[in-house]
Structure 1
Amino acid sequence: MIAGCIARVLACTLVTSALLACSSNTPAPAQTTGIVPKPSLAKAWQGQLLIGAAVDEKNIKTQGTLIAEQFNSVVAENAMKPMATEPREGEFHFEAADAIVHFAQSHDMAIRGHTLLWHLHTPDWMWQGTNGQPADRNLVLARLKRHIETEVGRYKGQVYVWDVVNEIIDEKQPDCLRDDKWHQVVGPDYVDYAFRYAHAADPAARLFINEYSTEAPAKQRCLIRVVQGLLQRGVPVNGIGHQMHISVFYPTVAAIDETLTAFARLGLENQITELDMSLYRWKDNHLYDTRENLLALQARRYGEIMRMIHNHPDVTAVTWWGVTDAGTWLNQDAPSDHRDQPLLFDAQGQPKGAFWAVFAAARR
């Protein structure tokens, strides 16, 4: 069934019709009994988008009912990253990832794979050669190939899309690639190799570059330049993952719209992969209005973004980076009196105004 759902989403051509009006005062149910509202977001958006959430092995146990009823796609927040799956060379750990895959399959949900290569989650052994010498290019590529073959091969036919590389763009560099160890040891073609290894391991999987701030003009130009080069070399890139860790203050809906259009023109699929909307400005713990007003603004902004997505048949999935406000990564280092509330469900798992705005934006 889920294969059919994915096929419908990937093949979906949105018809033009009047957009359903939505505002921050969209009425919520009169009662708040802890019962998950029906129909769910996944059902409301069925046939248009996959609606996803980042999960871990803990919240699929504590919030499994909520996740299964509201979403039809999941991504492992950390369990599929290299340091989690191969912390020591040749020593693979898939227990947490397997639990998430089993949960998804038991609830007929699609599975995103995140991520095969990320400079912040590359274990140190990748760079260590013999006799205390640094690993050379050939050794690093051989290790990368084995890692990707093992992980992608394990979930072949189960994970429908992989974030092959994550956060590789640096608009300040001449070639637009981050000057990290991957770039320094292997060279810029490490990106080509990562995609080719992933494609060989599962030819049917969709392969993505995942990146943040794709709406920023300089970064967007660099990402387009890198992607065009990959496509010209015949590298199997299928789409762009736009992280979208945004705020109630920025970016504009128009900027997001223009970004999606720019990559759709390249013939690429777009997915929003790590969506949350902070009540704060970046690295600023000051609230610029009352929480009530900011949450109303958040709901309105979520509704505007989701209505805009109706104009983009190239967008096949929207994934929130978390399930409830209680588990958002944005509160990991936040002072106790500056807790953020960026998701659709509050800390108790109750639907917020943002939920109702996203729900109302669906064509049902």
Structure 2
Amino acid sequence: MRKHKQLALLFVFSVSIIMANTNPGSVDSTTVGKEKTLKEAYKDKFYIGTALNAWQIRGRRPEEIQVVKENFNSIVAENIMKSARIQPKEGQFDFSLADEFVKFGEENDMHIHGHTLIWHSQTPDWFFVGEDGNTVSKEVLIERMKNHITTVVGRYKGRIHSWDVVNEAIEDDGSFRESQFYKIIGEDFIELAFEFAHEADPDAHLYYNDYSMSNPRKRDGVVNMIKKLKDQDIFVYGIGMQGHISLGADLKEFEKSLEAFGKLGKVVISELDLTVLPSPWGDAGAEISDNYEYEDKMDPFPNGLPDEVQEQLSKRYVEFFNLFLEHQEIITRVTLWGVNDGNSWKNNWPVRGRTDYPLLFDRENNAKPVVKELIELASVQ
């Protein structure tokens, strides 16, 4: 069966390269839409999602929103539902943008995902500090966690279909991250977060989400953590594998993680983008606190991608989507982390000021040639 799929993949890619060379450049998204869109091609496979930023949610990027409506059937908020935005001061919740985000999803009949409830980053300082300026007790932090999760999840009960409950709690070596949540509460903060979220909305699908998930040691750490939670009858619906990958990403290790996580629940490819730029440390990581100074050699394509690099990007995306299709029985959603290249976070991380091309739509909101390839790939799987 795998041999037939590989032959089909080779055929699709070969045809696409011929077409791309015959008519180089981007394919207008409206042309693609007249034939078949991404969400139509994958509707019987898994959701095809994208992350929305504040400007899009506010309606200031109508051309980008049109791309979303035509091509995606699932949305997640890139930043506006993180705790620092939702509850910047204790007890002062700001749901204005989150409400608009959910309203947009409902009006367009989309799957809506919440990101994220508990994360060591972008959590306001008050969470961990008392009025006296000292670190709060375990009991106080647990109560603050419970209040935040219960309030946020409860507000959107039955409307937001799934949540990243805990984000990035495991280090690359498989150990627990020494976050404030961990230092004050211990590893039980993960169990408690899932309990509070499940109590607030028993029907919501709850995920653990992390990066570098093809790293074998991290894989083992996450597997051990999820097994322990399930042994305690904690409801964990699935695992989110952030897909921040590069041209050199190890497909075999990625598949091993897919298979390992699939034995524990459903899997989501939660934050997919494919950088074509060099990395300061190789193909690993998405720790946003890691930043490096700009150098020309780290920004090799400021004026556009050479054709050969565009072909490499297309080939790599097709290879990964072929893998996703082979495991579609365990994958519920594949979400691109942004709508177009221009609003991707990869332009500023890990080196600020670079020009990257990691998504499926270019800076003018045109579908790249790979979009047609992915649509054709779905038809033969």
> Which amino acid in the other structure matches residue 304 of structure 1?
E
1:352 and 2:347 are equivalent in the alignment: no
Counting only pairs closer than 5 Å after superposition, residues 151-162 of structure 1 correspond to structure 2 as: 151-162=152-163
1:274 alignment partner in structure 2: 271
2:30 alignment partner in structure 1: 35
Instruction: Find the partner of 2:298 among 285, 291, 308.
Output: 285
Q: Percent identity?
A: 34
2:255 alignment partner in structure 1: 257
Tell me the alpha carbon deviations over residues 203-262 of structure 1, each in whole angstroms, 9 at most, x when there is no partner.
Answer: 000110000011011111111111111111111111000001001121x22222111011
Q: Contact between 2:47 and 2:333, CA under 8 Å: does it hold in 1? A: yes
Distance 1:135 1:356, change over 3 A: same
2:337 alignment partner in structure 1: 321
Distance 1:17 1:113, change over 3 A: farther
Unaligned ranges ≥5, structure 1: 1-15
Q: Distance in 1 between the 2:199 and 2:72 partners?
A: 30
TM-score, reference length from structure 1: 0.89
Shift of 1:359: 1.7
Alpha-carbon RMSD? 2.4
1:214 and 2:198 are equivalent in the alignment: no
Q: Distance in 1 between the 2:28 and 2:171 partners?
A: 48
1:363 and 2:376 are equivalent in the alignment: no
TM-score, reference length from structure 2: 0.85
Q: Contact between 2:275 and 2:356, CA under 8 Å: does it hold in 1? A: yes
Counting only pairs closer than 5 Å after superposition, residues 1-364 of structure 1 correspond to structure 2 as: 18=5, 19=8, 21-23=11-13, 25=17, 27=19, 35=30, 37-38=32-33, 39-60=36-57, 61=59, 62=61, 63-172=64-173, 176-250=175-249, 252-266=250-264, 268-283=265-280, 285=298, 287=300, 291-312=306-327, 313-332=329-348, 334=351, 338-363=354-379
> Which amino acid in the other structure matches residue 351 of structure 1?
A
Unaligned ranges ≥5, structure 2: 281-296
> Which amino acid in the other structure matches residue 190 of structure 2?
V
> Which amino acid in the other structure matches residue 91 of structure 1?
Q
> Which amino acid in the other structure matches residue 243 of structure 2?
M
Shift of 1:172: 4.0
Distance 1:105 1:340, change over 3 A: same
Q: Distance in 2 between the 1:35 and 1:150 partners?
A: 41
Q: Distance in 2 between the 1:304 and 1:32 partners?
A: 20
Q: Distance in 2 between the 1:262 and 1:102 partners?
A: 36
Q: Contact between 1:54 and 1:76, CA under 8 Å: does it hold in 2? A: yes
Shift of 1:138: 0.5
Q: Contact between 1:302 and 1:357, CA under 8 Å: does it hold in 2? A: no
2:292 alignment partner in structure 1: none
2:284 alignment partner in structure 1: none
Shift of 1:56: 2.0
Q: Contact between 1:26 and 1:356, CA under 8 Å: does it hold in 2? A: no
> Which amino acid in the other structure matches residue 25 of structure 1?
I
Q: Contact between 2:32 and 2:372, CA under 8 Å: does it hold in 1? A: no
Q: Please give the secondary structure, in 2, of the residue aligned with 1:361.
A: helix
Tell me the alpha carbon deviations over residues 84-143 of structure 1, each in whole angstroms, 9 at most, x when there is no partner.
Answer: 100000000111111111111111111011000110121111112243332101010001
Q: Please give the secondary structure, in 2, of the residue aligned with 1:92.
A: coil
Q: Distance in 1 between the 2:19 and 2:93 partners?
A: 48
Q: Contact between 1:27 and 1:356, CA under 8 Å: does it hold in 2? A: no
Aligned residues: 346
Q: Contact between 2:48 and 2:74, CA under 8 Å: does it hold in 1? A: yes
Q: Please give the secondary structure, in 2, of the residue aligned with 1:274.
A: strand
Q: Distance in 2 between the 1:316 and 1:277 partners?
A: 20
Q: Distance in 2 between the 1:82 and 1:322 partners?
A: 20
Q: Contact between 2:216 and 2:253, CA under 8 Å: does it hold in 1? A: no
Tell me the alpha carbon deviations over residues 44-96 of structure 1, each in whole angstroms, 9 at most, x when there is no partner.
Answer: 10111100000023124212111011000000000111001000000001111
Q: Contact between 1:263 and 1:270, CA under 8 Å: does it hold in 2? A: yes
> Which amino acid in the other structure matches residue 321 of structure 1?
W
Q: Please give the secondary structure, in 2, of the residue aligned with 1:303.
A: helix
Tell me the alpha carbon deviations over residues 10-48 of structure 1, each in whole angstroms, 9 at most, x when there is no partner.
Answer: xxxxxx985554316163696956635222100110111
Distance 1:75 1:36, change over 3 A: farther
Q: Distance in 1 between the 2:28 and 2:241 partners?
A: 35
> Which amino acid in the other structure matches residue 256 of structure 2?
E
Tell me the alpha carbon deviations over residues 287-312 of structure 1, each in whole angstroms, 9 at most, x when there is no partner.
Answer: 49963212111111111111121221
Shift of 1:276: 0.1
Q: Please give the secondary structure, in 1, of the residue aligned with 2:379.
A: coil
Q: Please give the secondary structure, in 1, of the residue aligned with 2:12.
A: coil
> Which amino acid in the other structure matches residue 139 of structure 1?
V
